[in-house]
Amino acid sequence: MIPSLADITAARDRIKDVAIRTPLLRVPTDIAGDAWLKLENLQPIGAFKIRGAANAMALVDPAVLKESGVYTASAGNMAQGVAWCARALGAACSVIVPEHAPKAKTDAIERLGGTVIRVPFDVWWKTLIDHGYPGMKGLFVHPFADPAVMAGNGTIALEIFEELENVDTILVPYGGGGLSCGIAAATRAVSPQTKVYAVEADTAAPLTASFAAGKPVTVEMTRTWIDGMGSNAVSIEMWPFVTELLAGTKVASVDEIADALRILVARVRVIAEGAGAAGLAVIRQGEELGRVVSIVSGGNIDVARVVAVLQPQERDRSATCALSSPSVANTGR
């Protein structure tokens, strides 16, 4: 079910003490035209995911959560969002991660008090499809295919339109679709003339291919250093939402995203994940988008990876660096 404006407005009230109202920053005009950045990388966990996690969990009696606990299936930002909120509530948190999940990310989950459960990739993926893991007790928070999570994500759009008039375009990195659909649901209600586009890297663009085919399709995915977006398939569960809500997709190359990340760090003083830099990469392509807002969805990127991407002599080599998990679809966005 697509969240309504009432759902999203209610979500804003629920999460106001958990997620911060992030800044909307103008991009210098010599870098891009009338372009703005919504800095979700400044959230307490370094990504937008805290919004959806907080809203989904706020709909459940805290006493029930403390008794039964909460869990999710994620190796990245949603895991940290759920763990952050669970710790604040005094609830136990478990996270189902694919066996290839990197230690750096599982360590972050554990630092927030989450218990990491490694499973084969197929089992992890089935957990997403089934919205649950056999034998696991507690509330399951789906990283994207949950109206409450989408409503929490939609609060980003409310903040944008309260601060900025006449927005023509919003660019949102695409992983699972929960971020783009939440923002698009709010946009349709508040500013229906504004177009919301999903952004993909050309090495992993199943939504673009699916729109072209008129149905969900599977594509070949090339692993790169870009995480937080991209996979080899579109969630069938999310397909009706994306076709109804999104104006289409925009695609950037790995080199374009690397250049955008370099600009964000060196000129705008913003640290972003590959996904968070993708919107600026599209803006820099020069297509007329009017007044455009790019969602900097997160900033959880290894320092070593930032250094490699920023150094021109390393950028070509960095394009072949593996994703945080070789077989894992980046279903965060």
Burial 201-233 (b: 16+ CB within 10 A, else e): bbbbbbbbbbbeeeebbebebebbbbbbbbbbb
pLDDT tens figures, 160-209: 999 999 999 999 999 999 999 999 999 999 999 999 999 999 999 999 99
Give dist(CA 200, CA 206) in Å, integer: 8
pLDDT tens figures, 19-65: 999 999 999 999 999 999 999 999 999 999 999 999 999 999 999 99
Amino acid at 191: S
pLDDT at 190: 98
Give dist(CA 68, CA 25) in Å, integer: 41
pLDDT tens figures, 68-103: 999 999 978 899 999 999 999 999 999 999 887 777
Give dist(CA 35, CA 45) in Å, integer: 25
Indicate if the pLDDT at residue 304 is higher than 80.
yes
Q: Quick one: which of 328, 301, 324 has its CA closest to 119?
A: 328
For the annotated catalytic residues, the residue numbers are 49, 297
The long-range contacts involving 282-289, CB below 8 angstroms and separated by at least 24 positions, are: 282/171, 282/197, 282/199, 282/250, 282/251, 282/252, 282/256, 283/27, 283/32, 283/33, 283/35, 283/171, 284/31, 284/32, 284/256, 284/259, 284/260, 285/252, 285/256, 287/250, 289/168, 289/169, 289/171
